[in-house]
Amino acid sequence: MTRLMKTAVEHFPIAGSFTISRGSKTTASVVTCHVSDGGFAGIGECVPYARYGETIDSVLAEIETIRTQIEAGIDRQTLREAMKAGAARNAVDCALWDLEAKQTGNRAFTLARLSEPAALTTAYTISLGEPEAMAAQTAQYAHRALLKVKVGTTDDASRIRAVRAAAPKSAIILDANEGWTDDNLAYHFAVCAESGVSLIEQPLPAGRDGLLASVHRPVPVCADESVHKTEDLPKLAGLYDAVNIKLDKTGGLTEALRMRDAARVLNLQIMVGCMVGTSLGMAPAVLLAQGADFVDLDGPLLLARDREPGLRYEDSLVFPPLPALWG
């Protein structure tokens, strides 16, 4: 099968700014991969992430190294062996899913042997800031069922309490983005328990996970930066209660489905998350997130503009993608 591949870079302004413990940004830059067979074209999107040593240029270069194999008809399983986990493989993998759906006339969820997807309750992200600013932002979204709150400073107690006071009825995921330390971990855990936090995401830097074995965890703890592929899971079982599966980390839907199944065998809860990207990047993750314990697919809601057509969001719900978008 002869194919043609092309890549593109697109920039989408963020509504305001997006701030975590590692910094702020005002633009979401994404890479798309298009794979066509002359009659049909599939597309996938990824978000290069500096935390993992990725840039726009490095992702484009990585995709380019496998152009010959892609155009010669590589399948998703061979792709998984030919490219490492990460954003570049995600864009190619999702393009191949989309291409096969169009070639066969089957939806991607059918190809993945999944049930027809339903709408999901997704988190909405509150950026890191001073407690008063975070409380004010939270108050605007206190009607949402689930909030994901960015923290990760040496003293987050006032932020946690301010957000909880501003959204007394919302379930809260707290994301420290590796920002806590050995010295303040137990204190922050206690404040989270006092404030009724539902989940704490990646409190310690990746590689420091072992400390979680020796500290009381009154609130479930989820690995994010510490988990990228299925082979990472065994060493995290017992330290974490959940894992955050993101397509840009796993390198696509193919590996993400494999990781989800393996995590369940290890009795780890499933969170499906995202980088700040468009509806195209979220669409395959909606399939992955069916049946997940926590869903955080609000990337398009953080943008000043999204793709057309995009995913449908209604209150706290995100709906499955239409074929015109992906899959």
Q: Pick the catalytic residue: 102, 148, 229, 246?
A: 246
Q: Are 259 and 250 in contact (CB under 8 A)?
A: yes
Please identify which residue in the block is written with the tokens 């979204």.
141
Q: Is the peptide bond before 309 cis (omega within 30 degrees of 0)?
A: yes
Report H helices in the chain.
Answer: 56-64, 67-71, 76-82, 87-104, 108-111, 131-140, 157-166, 185-194, 233-236, 247-250, 253-265, 279-288
Task: Give, for 199, the enclosing helix (H) or strand (E).
Answer: strand 199-201
Q: Pick the catalytic residue: 102, 150, 229, 249?
A: 150
Concerning whether 169 is annotated as a catalytic residue, the answer is no
> Would you state the structure tokens that stand for residue 9, as one six-digit string?
């870079």
Concerning whether 6 is annotated as a catalytic residue, the answer is no
Q: What is the DSSP string of 246-268?
A: -HHHHTSHHHHHHHHHHHHHTT-
CA separation for the pair 194, 188 (Å, rounded) = 10
Positions marked active-site: 150, 246
